[in-house]
Amino acid sequence: MARTEDPAGRERILSAATDLFYVNGVRAVGMAEVIAAAGCGKHMLYRHFPSKAALAAAYLRRVRAERDKSTTRALAAAAGASKTTSAGDAARGIGTTRAGEQLVALVAEVAAWVQRRDYRGCAFRNYLTEFPAGDDEPAAVARDYLRDTRRQVDELVATLGKPGVTGDRIWLLIDALYGGTGTPPQVAVDWAKELVT
């Protein structure tokens, strides 16, 4: 091999694709646009990502990793100085008051997320809207994310002693935040606080 195999090549490509896909939508962005933004050749792109679907899947996985990290951090902070790393572990073995605080923290984390500059909706919901009949790899990544986060809420609510409708209501608030059309996100956070007390 001659050069160093591409040190940050894949990262540059995926980073550029992430920005473009999220801001403009996956369908609206062509591979040529990604190549131009990444400053590489077609060779490099198709070496790392053999198709547009593979690139889109990597984009969604990247967003998911970012979301999971932020969520896990928020849950851990709400659980106190616990050294738990996975959300599932955090949900189990913590007192019910902790579970309530964690649910509020979960809603607050989403509220903070949707207030980011250039927030343009949930990347996973957006993808499923763009490809409603899609059964390809990125669609699976998107659906897995929604299923897993929904399960995360359910587990926390199960730890809490509240009636079963609380989980649905928390998830209602999260859905509202992700698809929000102007309502101040703090309203959802305050409402979640009332819900768990």
Q: Which does residue 92 bind out of DNA, its own copies, none, counting CB within 5 to 8 angstroms by kind?
A: none
Pair of tokens at residue 131? 């490809």
Q: With contacts defined by CB under 8 A, name the span among 40-48, 60-68, 98-106, 120-128 that binds its own copies.
A: 120-128
CB of residue 133 vs its own copies: minimum separation in angstroms?
7
- Does the protein bind its own copies through residue 24 (CB under 8 A)? yes
CB-CB contact of 155 with 170 (8 Å): no
| 93 Rama class: left (phi>0) / alpha (psi -120 to 50) / beta | left
- Does the protein bind DNA through residue 131 (CB under 7 A)? no
The three-state DSSP-derived secondary structure of 75-94 is: HHHHCCCCCCCCHHHHHCCC
| 5 Rama class: left (phi>0) / alpha (psi -120 to 50) / beta | left
CB atoms < 10 A from the CB of 89, how many?
15
Q: Give the footprint of its own copies on residues 149-178 (CB under 8 A).
A: 150, 165, 168-169, 171-173, 175-176, 178
CB of residue 63 vs DNA: minimum separation in angstroms?
19
Q: Which does residue 29 bind out of DNA, its own copies, none, counting CB within 5 to 8 angstroms by kind?
A: DNA
Where does this chain bind DNA (CB under 7 A)? 1-6, 9, 29-33, 39-44, 46-47, 50-53
